[in-house]
A and B are shown apart, each in its own frame.
Chain A
Amino acid sequence: MVMACIDVNRRKHVGLQQLSSLTETGRSFLGPVKSSKFIIGEGARESVLTCSPVRLLESLDLTSSVGQLLYEAVQSQKSAYGTGTSTLLFLAGAWSAAALQCLQQDIPISVIVSVMSEGLMSCREEVVPLEIPLHDMLGNTGHTRSYPFLGTQSVIPSPLVQIPAEIAWIQREQDRKDMSFQPSPAVFSSRHSSELSSRSSYFSSQSVAKGNKAMSQALQTNLIPNSHTRKSGLSHSRHFNRAESSSYQTSDEGQLDAWVPRCSDMVQLAMGLSHGDHSSMALVEAAVRCQYQNACVRRNRTAPSRFDVSKISTCCLPGIPESFSCVLSGYITLVSIDHIAIIRELQNQPLRVALIDGDFSENYRHLGFNGLGNVKTQLESLTYQEKMWLDCILEILIQLNVNLVMVRGNVSENVMERCMLRNLLIIGPVSHHVLQDFAEVTGAVRVTYATQLNEECVGSDVYVSLWRAGQLNAKEISDKVAVLVKAEGILLATAVLTSPVVAQMQAKEDHFWTCAYRMYHALVDEKVFLGGGAVEVLCLTHLQTLIERSQKKMDQDHSARLHRTSSWMASSQALYRPAVLEALADGWHRYLSSVVCNTGTCSSETEASTFIRNFLQKTIDSGCPLLYLLKEYNKVTSGVLNSGIPSRLEETSRVYDVVTPKREAWRRALDLVLLVLQTDAEVITGAEYTQLSSQDSNELLLL
Chain B
Amino acid sequence: MSRVKAKKPSLCTCELLTKEIISKSLSILRAVVTSCYGPSGRLKQLHNGVGGSVCTTSSSSLLFSNLSVTHPILKILTTSVQNHVSRFSDCGLFTAILCFNLVEHFQRLNLSTATVIKISKHLLSLCTDYLNSESCGCRISVDFSNMKTLLCLVQSILTSKPACLLNKKETDHISTLILKAFLLTIPEKAKDHAVLGKSIIVPLKDERVMNSAVLPGIVIEMPEVQLIRKFPIKKLPSDALKVALFCMSMSGDISEPGEGTLVISYGVSLESAVLDQLLNLGNRLITDHVDIVVCQKVIHPALKQYFHQHHIITIDRVGISLMEPLCEMTGAQTIGSLSFISPTSYGYVKDLCSTNFGSKHYFHLIPNDSTVCSLLLCNRNETAWNELKLACQTALHVLQLTIRKPLALLGGGCTETHLASFIRHKGINVPECILKVNDCTQTEYKIVTNAFCNALQSIACSLEHDKGKILTDRKYGHFWSIPPDFPSNVKWQDLVSECGCGLYGNQEELNWCLLQDIHSFAPQNSSIQQATNSTGHLTLDCFTAKLHGLQVAVETASLILDLSYIIEDKN
Contact = CB atoms under 8 A, between A and B. Distances in A.
B251 to A, nearest CB: 5
A698 interface: no
A452 B47 contact: no
A451 B317 CA distance: 23
A68 B47 contact: yes
B25 A703 contact: yes
Given A372-B270, A436-B224, A568-B495, A668 B381 contact: yes
A376 B261 contact: yes
B43 A675 contact: yes
Contacts of B466: 108-111, 566, 569
B56 A564 contact: no
A79 to B, nearest CB: 6
A65 B49 CA distance: 8
Interface in B309-335: 309, 317
B381 A76 contact: yes
Contact of B301 (A15, A117, A121, A449): A449
B257 interface: yes
Interface in B265-297: 265-266, 268, 270-271, 274, 297
Interface string B55-71: 01000000100111110
Given A68-B51, A376-B263, A565-B40, A701 B380 contact: no
Nearest to A565: B40
B165 A675 contact: yes
A448 B301 CA distance: 6
A562 interface: yes
A72 B205 CA distance: 12
Given A68-B53, A108-B466, A368 B483 contact: no
A232 interface: no
B206 A571 contact: no
Given A566-B464, A569-B466, A561 B42 contact: no
B497 A559 contact: yes
Interface stretch (B195-203, B346-354, B425-433, B498-506): B498-506
Contact of B380 (A111, A370, A668, A683): A668
Contacts of A570: 497-498
A347 B342 CA distance: 56
A436 B224 CA distance: 9
B42 A678 contact: yes
Interface stretch (B28-36, B79-87, B123-131, B435-443): B28-36
A118 B169 CA distance: 11
B225 interface: yes
B249 interface: yes
A72 B297 contact: no
Contacts of B169: 121
B54 interface: yes
Contact of A685 (B35, B67, B467): B67
A374 B261 contact: yes
Contacts of B105: none
A282 B427 CA distance: 82
B539 interface: yes
A378 interface: yes
Contacts of B468: 108, 566, 568-569
A591 B500 CA distance: 40
B270 A368 contact: no
Contacts of B365: none
A674 B40 CA distance: 12
Nearest to A688: B49
A15 B43 CA distance: 12
B167 A117 contact: yes
Contacts of A380: 266
B391 to A, nearest CB: 14
Interface string A371-385: 111111111100000
Contacts of B467: 108
B104 interface: no
A239 to B, nearest CB: 13
A567 B43 contact: no
B481 A375 contact: no
Contacts of B237: none
Most buried by A among B309, B468, B539: B468
Contact of A302 (B229, B259, B265, B301): B229
Nearest to B254: A372
Contacts of B301: 366, 447-449, 452
B264 A375 contact: yes
A561 B537 CA distance: 11
A1 B66 CA distance: 12
A567 B268 CA distance: 78
A582 B12 CA distance: 61
A675 B495 contact: no
A366 B300 contact: yes
Interface in B154-184: 159, 162-163, 165, 167-169, 171
Contacts of B168: 561-563
Nearest to B466: A108
Interface in A346-369: 366-369
Contact of B66 (A379, A445, A685): A685
B384 A374 contact: no
Interface in A203-261: none
A674 B164 CA distance: 11
Contacts of B162: 113, 678
Interface in A427-469: 432, 436, 439-440, 445, 447-449, 451-452, 456-457
Interface in B474-488: 480-483
Contacts of A685: 46-49, 66-68
Given A375-B264, A378-B263, A571 B483 contact: yes
Contact of A80 (B29, B206, B298): B206
Contacts of A668: 380-381
A79 B360 CA distance: 12
B23 interface: no
A624 interface: no
Contacts of A604: none
A68 B54 contact: yes
B254 A373 contact: yes
A681 B251 contact: no
A667 B262 contact: no
A73 B28 CA distance: 31
A568 B481 contact: yes
Contacts of B482: 568
B49 A368 contact: no
Contact of B32 (A5, A671, A691): A5
B44 interface: yes
A664 interface: yes
B39 interface: yes
B463 interface: yes
A691 B49 contact: yes
Given A447-B305, A679-B43, A703-B28, A373 B258 contact: yes
B10 interface: no
A463 to B, nearest CB: 23
A494 to B, nearest CB: 20
A109 B302 contact: no
A387 B357 CA distance: 46
B207 interface: yes
Interface in A527-580: 556, 559, 561-572
Interface string A282-306: 0000000000000000000010000
A359 to B, nearest CB: 13
B42 A680 contact: yes
Most buried by B among A73, A76, A113, A565: A565
Contacts of B56: 69, 675, 679
6 contacts: A113-B162, A118-B167, A368-B249, A447-B305, A565-B40, A682-B47
Given A80-B207, A439-B227, A568-B468, 20 more contacts: A3-B67, A72-B54, A76-B381, A110-B465, A117-B167, A121-B169, A369-B251, A369-B252, A375-B257, A377-B265, A378-B263, A448-B302, A563-B168, A566-B500, A664-B380, A675-B384, A678-B43, A679-B44, A683-B67, A703-B67
